[in-house]
Amino acid sequence: MVEREGMRRGSGGGCGWGGGVLGRWSLRRLLLDSPLVGRRLAHTVLEQADGRPAKLNNVEQQRQTTVEFIAEDEEGDGLECPLCLSVFNSAAMERLAWCSHRCCEPCLRQYLAIEIFEARVPVNCPVCHESMHPSDVRRIVDNPVLYEKYEEFSVRRALAADPDTRWCPAPDCSFAVVATGCASCPKLTCLAPGCGASFCYHCKAAWHPTQTCDAARRSRAPPPRAPQPSHPDIDHGDVKPCPRCSVLIVKVEDGSCNHMVCCVCGAEFCWLCMKEVSDLHYLSPSGCTFWGKKPWSRKKKLLWQLGTLAGAPLGIAVVAGVALPALLVGLPLWAGRRAHRRLRRAPLSAACETRARCASPGAVLAAGDGA
């Protein structure tokens, strides 16, 4: 479980990080500060008495304001629950804060129990894909143990989304350390009562003062063992840990898309090299392909790099060879066309000006005769 009484937050000072022990922090404050919920709060809309939307002025006002909705079904007609398809009056239907969808309370309570037991947190609305507000979950869930599990999953999800979160690797210690600015001096110490384990900020394993992270990782690797009998339909290569939060992810090795997104922390990574990547990763000479089961071989990567080095100057020369004649021919034509238009407009403007000057004395004389 996540240690609620003793989560530490590091301050940016290398080895001198020493943020004190946070007290019993507020789950609501942690969730509202996380990007998972903060994005949705920025678009919270209230309804005024006349039905028009009124946006909140600032984030603090959004966090402290309870979203209120105008009651529907004033004529007394029943509402259909989208889960059980039964008809209820409006008083028996729970209305969600962020998407305003309504479901009957028994169905919504059972739906929340299934979602929480399967660790699908934050829980989405059963009708749309909007996340349910934590206050809605707290109001509907009547089981304290179940709500405690929802809090634990929510906190783990919020901490997993923070790139500075590190978990103590000691056995039976689930102490979270939010170590900000500790990359230059990566030794972290768990301050959990009775633990005191030291671990590395970079590789997230036990502290290795005389080894690099790669050397320590190789030394910790277990010796090769005889192949163990396993289920014929399960391939151990189909299960890999997320490079950010280490959650195990299953993917069928059928050559499908290798661009993966972790459902817990939201990290985007490549299934072949297991590194967090950007959109240009599959266009680089890394050897990873968008589709396929294996990365490129060393020979193919070398040929790609040589082809890129040789093809780049050739491509630039081809583009320059096509663009330069087009500019040499097109630019004079464009300039001549503009000059021709100006010359055609010049006599017309002069004639109009002369005609206006000739018409002005006549207008004056006509005005005088009228007077």
- Listed residue (25, 27, 33, 56) closest to 43, CA to CA: 56
The tens digit of pLDDT for each residue in 82-102 reads 888 888 888 888 888 888 888
H or E segment and range at residue 159: helix 144-160
CATH 3.30.40.10 residue ranges in the chain? 78-143
- Listed residue (203, 135, 138) closest to 169, CA to CA: 203
Q: What per-residue string of b and e applies to 198-232 under the rule 16 or more CB within 10 Å gives b?
A: ebbbebbeebbeeeeeeebeeeeeeeeeeeeeeee
Two tokens at 186? 């990566």
What percent of the chain has pLDDT above 90? 6
Residues 54-72, mean pLDDT to the nearest whole number: 39
| Residue 135 vs residues 65, 104, 141: alpha-carbon distances, Å | 12, 17, 10
Examine the pLDDT at 368 and tell me if it is beyond 70. Answer: no
- Rg (alpha carbons) of the chain, rounded to whole number: 34
The pLDDT, as a whole number, for residue 209 is 87
Examine the pLDDT at 293 and tell me if it is beyond 80. Answer: no
| Residue 291 vs residues 96, 253, 288: alpha-carbon distances, Å | 40, 11, 9
Tell me the three state secondary structure of residue 307.
Answer: helix
The pLDDT, as a whole number, for residue 211 is 85
Examine the pLDDT at 66 and tell me if it is beyond 80. Answer: no
The pLDDT, as a whole number, for residue 145 is 92
Residue with tokens 């979270």: 176
Q: Which of 84, 128, 257, 263 is catalytic?
A: 257
The pLDDT, as a whole number, for residue 352 is 56
Give the whole-angstrom CA distance, residue 319 versus residue 313. Answer: 10
> Under CATH, what is the fold of the domain 78-143?
Herpes Virus-1 (3.30.40)
How far apart, in Å, do the first and last CA atoms of the chain sit? 102
Hey, what amino acid is at 116?
I
pLDDT band at residue 163 using 50, 70 and 90 as cut-offs: confident
Residue with tokens 């699908």: 120
Beta-bridge partners for 9? 178
Higher pLDDT: 330 or 346? It is: 330
Question: Which residues contact residue 334 at a Cβ distance below 8 angstroms, ignoring those fewer than 6 apart?
Answer: none
What percent of the chain has pLDDT above 70? 64
The pLDDT, as a whole number, for residue 113 is 92
33 backbone φψ class: left, alpha, beta (φ>0; ψ -120 to 50): alpha
Decide if 81 is catalytic: no
Cα 265 to chain centroid distance, Å, stands at: 9
Residues 248-260, mean pLDDT to the nearest whole number: 81
Residues 203-220, mean pLDDT to the nearest whole number: 84
